[in-house]
Amino acid sequence: MKDVTIVRWPDERTLREELAKSGRARLLMVDTEAAPPIASDPLEDWVRTPCGELDVRARLEGLRLRLERTLELVPELDTDGVIRFGDRWAPLPPVEARLTTVLVRRFGAVVSRDELVAAGWPGGTPGRNALDVHVLRLRRRLEPVRLAIRTVRSRGYLLEPSAAGH
């Protein structure tokens, strides 16, 4: 299970942003004089310092439970090309639905470019940049569903929950 990272706010603002982009849970330790950030991400919480150990432990445990629930969700793609993740959904065009079928089947694991090309264009080989264009469009369509496609250099793509709150 992924851990929760403790971040000092506002001093470690950049670290917070990096953790959010990578979908990591974080507990912000907010300085006495600082205004806490507005968090729409379920993988983030905050507590004002100084604070007691019991308060910190309770916040950490709450974040761990939310993280576990997020990791238990698995997206579903129906025969009409509608992807569902939790209580959110989005319709997908045919090529993107075929690409998503493979990504959902291997949710959380890397899918090679060759596998995606074979799934997206079963009758032949697309143009050189066709996969990149469709993955870019698919990323945009999946944002509101709270799913993200991560590029894994020299290996392929990985579908995972997004930390972004929409």
For the domain covering 76-161, report its CATH number.
1.10.10.10
Please give the backbone phi and psi of residue 74, each rounded to the nearest 5 degrees, phi first.
-130, 130
DSSP assignment letter at 95: H
Sheet-wide strand order for 82-85: 76-77, 82-85, 88-91
User: Is the distance from CB of 4 to CB of 67 less than 8 angstroms?
Assistant: yes
Q: Read off the pLDDT of residues 8-31 as tens digits, 9 standing for 90 and up.
A: 999 999 999 888 877 778 999 999
Give domain limits for the chain: 4-72, 76-161
* Among 97, 94, 112, CA closest to 158: 112
* pTM of structure: 0.59
| Residue 166: per-residue pLDDT | 38
Q: What is the pLDDT of residue 164?
A: 56
pLDDT of 1 reads 35
